[in-house]
Amino acid sequence: MNPYLAEFLGTMLLILIGEGVVAGVLLKGSKAENAGWLTICIAWGLAVTFAIYAVGNFSGAHLNPAVTIGLAVNGDFEWSMAIGYIGAQFIGAFAGAVLVWLHYFPHWKGTSDGATKLAVFSTAPAIRNSVSNLFSEVVATAVLVFGILFIGVNEFTQGLKPLVVGGLITTIGLGLGGTTGFAINPARDLGPRIAHAILPIHGKGGSDWGYAWIPVIGPTIGGALGAILYGLIF
């Protein structure tokens, strides 16, 4: 499979499952309604795990511009391929969000709060403070890339690494995600936010573009910093 196509499909699968569980927890009438933060964090970790299993052999399953940038900074990925990977990730995230909208189609009308609908697609801070929110995303993403690089140098039973990375995602969500919803992935937030803005979602409200730069810039900086920190140590 072409690696760019693999990144598109893997990111689409990631968003379909990850944002699908958020929709299930938040939208009215879902059987998973009110299942809680733990459910969301575990499901995102598993979504990453299975997306890696799906396309890891074809593209390395970055699924995240911050990871692509971090690996390139660390010298483990060619910069010449980075733009194509990042573009495929954004398009895949958008496509995954459209599928979530279709999958939960009857539930949008039954959910009255516009902010709840936006939360299915993109992140928002628990307490809005640009400096603190940016810091949270930088730190969480630095931990992500730093952790992935550490995982990469360890020996595991064949086929186990995707589960370990999924565990890392869940751990970041539980430990660091309560401030901003742990975007830790520019494509995961911006692609679906664009979908939210475009799609005819019943009673959706605004897409909160004033906040949208934080889950893009924060993870981008954090991914590079995580790789630089790893390089300084090793």
State both tokens at 75. 């010298």
How many residues appear in the chain? 234
The string of DSSP codes covering 113-141 is -HHHHHHHHS---SS--HHHHHHHHHHHH
- Percentage of the chain lying above the pLDDT 70 cut: 100
Is the overall model pTM greater than 0.85, yes or no?
yes
Residue 7 has pLDDT above 80, yes or no: yes
Residue 170 has pLDDT above 90, yes or no: yes
- Does the domain at 3-233 match CATH 2.40.110.20? Answer given as no
Domain boundaries defined on the chain: 3-233
What is the rounded average pLDDT of the residues 53-77?
97
Residue 229 has pLDDT above 90, yes or no: yes
What is the rounded average pLDDT of the residues 156-180?
94
What is the rounded average pLDDT of the residues 34-58?
97
22: helix, strand or coil = helix
Task: Give the contacts of 180 (CB within 8 A, at least 6 positions apart).
Answer: 123, 124, 125, 126, 133, 136, 137, 140, 214, 215, 218
Q: What is the pLDDT of residue 27?
A: 98
pLDDT band at 154 (very low <50, low <70, confident <90, very high): confident
Q: What is the pLDDT of residue 153?
A: 79
Contact 114/212 with Cβ under 8 angstroms? no
pLDDT band at 234 (very low <50, low <70, confident <90, very high): confident
Mean pLDDT of the chain: 97
What is the rounded average pLDDT of the residues 162-172?
97
Kindly give the interhelix angle for 186-198 and 114-121, rounded to the nearest 10 degrees: 130
How far does Cα 211 stand from its chain's mean position? 16
How far does Cα 152 stand from its chain's mean position? 20
pLDDT band at 152 (very low <50, low <70, confident <90, very high): confident
Contact 53/143 with Cβ under 8 angstroms? no
Contact 117/108 with Cβ under 8 angstroms? yes
What is the rounded average pLDDT of the residues 148-161?
85
Contact 215/122 with Cβ under 8 angstroms? yes
Residue 158 has pLDDT above 80, yes or no: no
User: What is the 8-class DSSP label of residue 76?
Assistant: S
Contact 212/222 with Cβ under 8 angstroms? no
In Å, what is the CA distance from 107 to each residue of 25, 110, 112, 200, 202? 11, 5, 10, 13, 9
What is the rounded average pLDDT of the residues 179-194?
98
How far does Cα 106 stand from its chain's mean position? 25
Q: What is the pLDDT of residue 98?
A: 98
Q: What is the pLDDT of residue 207?
A: 98
Residue 80 has pLDDT above 80, yes or no: yes
Contact 116/29 with Cβ under 8 angstroms? no
User: What is the 8-class DSSP label of residue 178?
Assistant: T
| Least reliable range by pLDDT among 37-51, 58-72, 145-159, 213-227 | 145-159
pLDDT band at 65 (very low <50, low <70, confident <90, very high): very high
What is the rounded average pLDDT of the residues 92-100?
98
What is the rounded average pLDDT of the residues 89-116?
97
Kindly give the interhelix angle for 79-103 and 3-26, rounded to the nearest 10 degrees: 40
